[in-house]
């Protein structure tokens, strides 16, 4: 699925779709979230680099919109 670059409504919808999906996952699978947080604690900066590369690949393939990419990247805290 390819996204058009000029449609702001679609960008807002993409951002909210991602946030709602994340909220649903947090509520539905709380033990999985705890396990992922533990892994993030162990892997730290390596996880952040991998996640950023994965998001860039999704953007290049057209699987996510630019707005969704920027929203997700903005939530990743830079490694120290």
Kindly state whether residue 3 falls inside one of the protein's structural domains. no
Is residue 23 domain-resident? yes
Range of the domain at 28: 8-75
pLDDT-derived band at 78, boundaries 50, 70, 90 = low
Q: What is the pLDDT of residues 2-61, one digit of tens each?
A: 555 556 777 788 888 888 988 998 899 999 989 988 988 888 888 888 889 999 999 999
- Within-domain flag for 53: yes
Kindly state whether residue 1 falls inside one of the protein's structural domains.
no
Half-sphere exposure of 76 (CA within 13 A, CB side): 21
Residue 57 belongs to a domain: yes
Residue 13 within any structural domain of the chain: yes
> How many domains does the chain fold into?
1
Q: Is residue 2, in this structure, part of any structural domain at all?
A: no
Query: What is the helix (H) or strand (E) element at residue 30, kind and residue range?
Result: helix 30-43
């Amino acid at each position: 699925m390819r996204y058009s670059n000029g449609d702001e409504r679609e960008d807002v919808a993409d951002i909210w779709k991602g946030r709602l999906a994340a909220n649903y996952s947090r509520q539905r699978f709380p033990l999985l979230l705890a396990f992922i947080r533990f892994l993030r604690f162990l892997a730290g900066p390596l996880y952040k680099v991998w996640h950023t590369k994965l998001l860039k690949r999704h953007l290049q393939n057209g699987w996510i919109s630019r707005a969704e990419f920027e929203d997700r990247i903005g939530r990743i805290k830079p490694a120290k």
